[in-house]
Amino acid sequence: MEKEDKDGITDMFPPLTKFLHTNNLSVATVREVATSHLTSLSKHFSSYFSDVNTDDWDWVHNLFAPAATENDRTGKAEEQLNYPVIGR
């Protein structure tokens, strides 16, 4: 099966399939519109938040996590550690 055919399968998303058939649209058309919209939205937000230092806002990533652990690592640093999985 060619890549183009695989990309057009929407059976796993029945509402999308119905929308495409009802409005006689292709997946490529919807993908193009969605990509254009998200790119535009990203540029719009960048103009408002271009000077924000995301390191200062680490707590927003998981506001229920403590600001620093007992090892003085931020939540982001803790997440990047690879802990062994027990029981496997």
> Per-residue pLDDT tens for 2-24?
334 456 788 899 999 999 999 99
Is the pLDDT at 53 greater than 70, yes or no?
yes
pLDDT cut 70: percent of the chain above it = 53
Residue 47: the pLDDT is: 83
Sketch the domain layout of the chain as residue ranges: 1-50, 52-88
Residue 3: the pLDDT is: 39
d(C-alpha 4, C-alpha 31), whole Å? 13
19: CB partners within 8 A, 6+ apart:
25
Residue 48: the pLDDT is: 80
Q: What is the pTM of this model?
A: 0.49
Residue 45: the pLDDT is: 86
